[in-house]
Amino acid sequence: MDILGRNSTTKDYLRPAEQAVATAILADPDAASAATVASLAREAKVSQASVVRLAHSLGFSRIPRPSGLLDPGTHAAHARA
């Protein structure tokens, strides 16, 4: 499932830095869809590793294209096998 499809209780299992990334993405999905790992990290005021950890927490085995965290079809294509 993509990050936009998650409900607010999902954030309970994320680390605080991952929550910050998720919040930044949800605050401006259009900007986040074109963002890089580095720019998302800057926006959320966290390390780039936190952005990667969020992607892994959401079930991605690697970082998808920039808008991949927002695209429901991407998860199925890049989820762990």
Question: pLDDT, tens digit, for every residue of 44-58?
Answer: 999 999 999 988 888
Task: Look at residue 63 and tell me whether its pLDDT is greater than 80.
Answer: no
pLDDT higher for 51 or 77? 51
63: number of Cβ within 10 Å: 18
Band (pLDDT 50/70/90 cuts) for residue 26 is confident
Q: How many Å apart are CA 41 and CA 37, to the nearest integer? A: 6
pLDDT at 55: 86
pLDDT at 14: 86
| CATH code assigned to 3-78 | 1.10.10.10
Report domain extents, the chain.
3-78
25: number of Cβ within 10 Å: 23
Q: Which of 30, 65, 14 is nearest to 22 (CA)?
A: 14
What does DSSP assign to residue 61? S
